[in-house]
Structure 1
Amino acid sequence: MSGIFGVVSKKNCASNLLYGTDYHSHMGTVYGGMAVLGNRFFRSIHDISKSQFKSKFYDEYKEMEGNFGIGVISDRDAQPLIVGSKFGTFAIVSAGLVDNVSELAAELLAQGETFGEMSSGGVNSVELIAKLINQGKTLVDGIERLYDRIKGSASILLMKDDGIYAARDRLGRMPLVVGEREGGDYVVATETCSFLNLGYRIAKYLEPGEIVRLGKSGLEEQLSGRTSNQICAFLWIYTGYPASSYEGINVELVRERSGRFLARNDNVEADFVAGVPDSGVGHAIGYAMESGLPYRRPLVKYTPGYGRSYTPPAQEIRDLAATMKLIPIKEIIVGNRIVLCDDSIVRGTQLKNYTVKKLRESGAREVHVRPACPPLLFPCRFALSTRSINELIARRAIRVLEGHEVEDIRDYLDDRSEKYRRMVEWIAGELDVTTLLYQRIDDMVEAIGLPREKLCLHCWTGDDNQSRKTRGAANPSRRRGRCKAL
């Protein structure tokens, strides 16, 4: 995933932009970027794959001056981009995944368009988005029609001389939230944790497909949103920061409820509960609260310089982060039976080689793993996380058990079936854990607290009914054009 942040201020916005964007650093590990608009555009992009965001931008932001600014922590494309268009010059950032970039780029090239951002070996999806927006009759029309063309998801911040246009993707996969503070300053962000220490309060959660403009006149609706929603459930389970809220629901509270559900469905005897830092901690606290077992820290995370081991694109970078960041405390581990809560099991290699192995080598008597979500069986189509079925340990288990690739895996989706039991048993053996018990999908949904139909559960169920239903022609009943300030 990526995280985006924008600010509109009566004073120079550069400081708030730096720190607000930095609060999204857990969302991506490839590029960081900022753009500020004052008398002119200031723009800076850096590779942050081997260094922290602040260290790259701390000196540069002091040279930036303007009332409008946008920033991004990107998991793939270099951004922000500054684009000359028929609507005037604008800067743009995006979070999400355009799954049909190659197809759309080929169409534009055939029409005589050119692409300038090819340094990574392919078309920059943010540049593609900008070109598609430019085909609209107006800027808002261009953004709306963009969602008719793309497959996947894209939430956008577009900055020009009249303010920042914020558009949440039509499927609602990626959140966008507006914050305000006394004096008429506004921010818009993926993560609401970026508001708190900068003095902002939540003013509005954008609806799917909604477009607003933040400018000198305040917050103005440009296009109303849709009632249908399919926000990514993984935001609460893993990706989101504990202090953030989506759709008004706090991440840490969801993780505590999730851990409680894990404990209610469990009868294992153990000495204490632990969480794989950092995102497994909230789940483990909930498990401890429900079970009455003490919470302890057999593994501690050495934070400086090591990001999330799940998000880097290269396996060797993921392995290095997983190896170095978790340090075992042998004195706590030795001789104990440990319930280990984790957010999920994706590939399984890091849990096996860099977590369970450390516990075993430090003398753990038993290791009982409790993931906070069901087995991941489908690659994500809406963000840059798992991109291949072959990456998923649950699919590997099915191939081994069946002896061949299996198209119809419905029996493996049912946690009451014999095939599901055998799949989990194989994964437990592969990971070298004493027992393995996954979260039930209904319990995960209840822990989040939204109706099932308002969540994207594609990674677990493969269900795309909602994405097909919400994609397509714009709803003619939706309000368009300039509206009075909200």
Structure 2
Amino acid sequence: MSGIVGVLSKKDCKDDLFYATDYHTHLGTSYGGISISDGKKIDKKIHNMGRAQFKSRFSEDIDYINMQGNAGIGVISDRDTQPLIMRLKFGEYAICGAGYINNQNRLAKALIVEGVVFSEMPNGRVNQIELVAKLINRGNTIVDGIEYMHTQIDGSMSLLLLGKEGIYAARDKYGRTPLALAKKNGAYIVASETCAYKNLGFKTIRFLGPGEIIQLHENKVTQVKKPGTIMQLCTFLFVYTGFPASEYEGKNVEAFREDSGRIIARKDTVKVDFVAGVADSGTAYAHGYSHESGIPVKIPLLKYTPGWARSYVPPSQKVRDLIALMKQITADVLIREQRMVITEDSIVRGTQLKNYLLVKLWNAGAKEVHVRPACPALMFPCKFLFSTRRFDELFARRILKQMHGKHIQNVEPYLDHGSAQYKKMIRVMEKDLNVTSLKYQQLEDMSAATELGVDNLCTYCWTGKEVKSS
């Protein structure tokens, strides 16, 4: 996915914007961009982050160093170059966003037929932010245009628009990606992640509602569109994607993961010597499991973080595999002849867990390895964020294809953890992964740990069910 930040200040906003944007680096590894306005002109700078970190790219850039202004937006992008500066009929705006548009090709083709020109076409595909700008430009006002855009796209999109008059912040129609509003003396900030501004002195005021639009201008905040009534926050933000220090709708990510670990332990019966979390996102689940069960936590796989990014984020499987191989190093003496529970945030593709992490544990002499993912088996590619796109990318779907000889359409029996089909699938998974046992967290337990209610969560990747307004 991506992370976006907007800052409006009585003084130069650049430092707050720089650090707040950098605190979203866990959400993407492709591009980092910043745009700043002094009320007269809008400047921007974009860097490729494939080979260097956001901070180093921008701190050495003389063009960025010379930028100044009291309003700005920043983005860490997982796919498109952004922000883009677009000349709309309402004026000039820098635009950035977080989300994914499934029908982007169809929308772009329809606009091209009408004579609309696209300048940003990397690898022959449209830049989603340019597409969004073209759709917004069809409205009678900026707000009307954003609403129109939300009615046209199949997917999700939260946006920031920086103009000479200030910043518009618009949350996705169903709130799938978060936007939090915060304040400190003389400045406002709106951001995807609350962790982005805690060290900068901002205090959260509230979270924007689904489809809500606000304007930051003249050192005040004005609501220009009220929120809708249907919330579908991405649950995977809690499970894996979000940073532990962040909150979504008031629920802290680390607290969710510890609570989930407690629930997993309460429903587990295995006899083991210790519990361990795989990677940073699995650690809190292990602590929760340990607190509930009394089983000690150990760290048999140690992550070498200085030179390696998150292995889930890069779009290339080759890069993901390389990171998985190189980043985790075994402490063999802790593993040899030991029975262990491994808490894992999820099993998405399954390749890293199977081909690298579990192999390392067995090679170090593990006696038993019991894997406990903190969410159900992922059955459907995500429609709303730039993530998995095909059935073949999902471990559970590959297992079902192995069982049936093809991808099946009706997976309902495999979503019921009490069914014979589900139990058979788990046995095949255990054999494929080469683990002593595998037990997924159930949907209702995962949802309960968020304390938000399942009706307010997007669970499409597990159930294939999508909630829409009538």
Q: TM-score range by the shorter chain?
A: over 0.9
Q: Read off the aligned partner of 2:6 and give its amino acid letter.
A: G
The question of 1:128 aligning with 2:128 is answered no
Distance 2:431 2:462 in 1: 21
Q: Which moved more, 1:10-19 or 1:156-165?
A: 10-19
Q: Read off the aligned partner of 1:207 and give its amino acid letter.
A: G
Q: Read off the aligned partner of 2:340 and give its amino acid letter.
A: I
Q: CA deviation at 1:50?
A: 2.4
> In structure 2, which of residues 61, 83, 88 is the aligned counterpart of residue 85 of structure 1?
88
User: In the alignment, which residue of structure 2 is the partner of 1:196?
Assistant: 198
Structure 2 counterparts to residues 243-262 of structure 1, below 5 A: 243-262=245-264
Q: CA deviation at 1:404?
A: 3.0
User: In the alignment, which residue of structure 2 is the partner of 1:53?
Assistant: 54
Question: Where has structure 1 moved over 6 Å in runs of 4 or more?
Answer: none
User: In the alignment, which residue of structure 1 is the partner of 2:100?
Assistant: 97
Distance 1:389 1:360 in 2: 29
Q: TM-score, normalised by structure 2?
A: 0.98
User: In the alignment, which residue of structure 1 is the partner of 2:405?
Assistant: 403
The question of 1:67 aligning with 2:80 is answered no
Distance 1:426 1:53 in 2: 42
Q: Report SS of the residue matched to 2:305.
A: coil
Q: Read off the aligned partner of 2:419 and give its amino acid letter.
A: S
User: In the alignment, which residue of structure 2 is the partner of 1:366?
Assistant: 368
Q: CA deviation at 1:59?
A: 2.4
User: In the alignment, which residue of structure 1 is the partner of 2:142?
Assistant: 139
User: In the alignment, which residue of structure 2 is the partner of 1:167?
Assistant: 170
Distance 1:119 1:347 in 2: 26
Q: Report SS of the residue matched to 2:200.
A: coil
Q: TM-score, normalised by structure 1?
A: 0.94
Native 8 Å contact 1:14 1:62 kept in 2: no
Native 8 Å contact 1:6 1:189 kept in 2: yes
User: In the alignment, which residue of structure 1 is the partner of 2:347?
Assistant: 345
User: In the alignment, which residue of structure 1 is the partner of 2:317?
Assistant: 315
The question of 1:423 aligning with 2:411 is answered no
> In structure 2, which of residues 212, 215, 218 is the aligned counterpart of residue 213 of structure 1?
215
Task: Identify if the C-alpha distance between structure 1 residues 101 and 52 changes in structure 2 by more than 3 Å, giving closer, same or farther.
Answer: same
Q: Read off the aligned partner of 1:255 and give its amino acid letter.
A: R
Q: CA deviation at 1:362?
A: 1.4
Q: CA deviation at 1:403?
A: 2.9
CA RMSD of aligned residues (A): 1.1
The question of 1:106 aligning with 2:112 is answered no
Distance 1:87 1:30 in 2: 30
Q: CA deviation at 1:429?
A: 1.1
User: In the alignment, which residue of structure 2 is the partner of 1:235?
Assistant: 237
Distance 2:41 2:335 in 1: 57
Deviations 1:103-131 (A, max 9, x none): 11011101111011113331001000011
User: In the alignment, which residue of structure 2 is the partner of 1:436?
Assistant: 438
Native 8 Å contact 1:51 1:305 kept in 2: no
Distance 1:6 1:157 in 2: 7
Native 8 Å contact 2:188 2:219 kept in 1: no
Native 8 Å contact 1:370 1:436 kept in 2: yes
Deviations 1:348-371 (A, max 9, x none): 100011211111111211111100
Q: Report SS of the residue matched to 1:197.
A: helix
Q: CA deviation at 1:62?
A: 2.2
User: In the alignment, which residue of structure 2 is the partner of 1:31?
Assistant: 31
Distance 2:53 2:364 in 1: 31
Q: CA deviation at 1:405?
A: 2.6
Q: Report SS of the residue matched to 1:282.
A: helix
Q: Read off the aligned partner of 1:84 and give its amino acid letter.
A: R
Q: CA deviation at 1:212?
A: 0.1
The question of 1:6 aligning with 2:6 is answered yes
Distance 1:448 1:120 in 2: 39
Native 8 Å contact 2:42 2:163 kept in 1: no
Q: Report SS of the residue matched to 1:127.
A: helix
The question of 1:154 aligning with 2:166 is answered no
User: In the alignment, which residue of structure 1 is the partner of 2:291?
Assistant: 289
User: In the alignment, which residue of structure 2 is the partner of 1:483?
Assistant: none
Q: Which moved more, 1:95-104 or 1:30-39?
A: 30-39
Q: Read off the aligned partner of 2:83 and give its amino acid letter.
A: P
Native 8 Å contact 2:42 2:164 kept in 1: no
Native 8 Å contact 1:32 1:72 kept in 2: yes
Q: Report SS of the residue matched to 2:229.
A: coil
Native 8 Å contact 1:20 1:195 kept in 2: yes
Native 8 Å contact 2:41 2:164 kept in 1: no
User: In the alignment, which residue of structure 2 is the partner of 1:445?
Assistant: 447
The question of 1:458 aligning with 2:460 is answered yes
Q: Read off the aligned partner of 2:354 and give its amino acid letter.
A: K
Q: Which moved more, 1:160-169 or 1:39-48?
A: 39-48
Native 8 Å contact 1:166 1:211 kept in 2: yes
* Equivalent residue pairs, number: 467
Native 8 Å contact 1:52 1:305 kept in 2: no
Distance 2:242 2:23 in 1: 11
Native 8 Å contact 1:91 1:158 kept in 2: yes
Distance 1:404 1:326 in 2: 34
Q: Report SS of the residue matched to 2:35.
A: strand
Deviations 1:224-260 (A, max 9, x none): 0012101101110111000000011110000001001
Q: CA deviation at 1:217?
A: 3.7
Distance 2:307 2:76 in 1: 16
Distance 1:190 1:307 in 2: 20
Q: Which moved more, 1:33-42 or 1:132-141?
A: 33-42
Distance 1:389 1:80 in 2: 31
Q: Which moved more, 1:238-247 or 1:10-19?
A: 10-19
Q: Read off the aligned partner of 1:264 and give its amino acid letter.
A: R
User: In the alignment, which residue of structure 2 is the partner of 1:15?
Assistant: 15
Q: Read off the aligned partner of 1:88 and give its amino acid letter.
A: G
List runs of 5+ in structure 1 lacking aligned partners. Answer: 471-486
Distance 2:390 2:407 in 1: 14
Q: Report SS of the residue matched to 1:317.
A: helix
Q: Which moved more, 1:352-361 or 1:242-251?
A: 352-361
Native 8 Å contact 1:136 1:145 kept in 2: yes
Q: CA deviation at 1:416?
A: 0.2
Q: CA deviation at 1:278?
A: 1.0
Q: CA deviation at 1:338?
A: 1.3
Native 8 Å contact 1:298 1:329 kept in 2: yes
Distance 1:347 1:463 in 2: 21
Native 8 Å contact 1:83 1:91 kept in 2: yes
Q: Read off the aligned partner of 2:366 and give its amino acid letter.
A: A
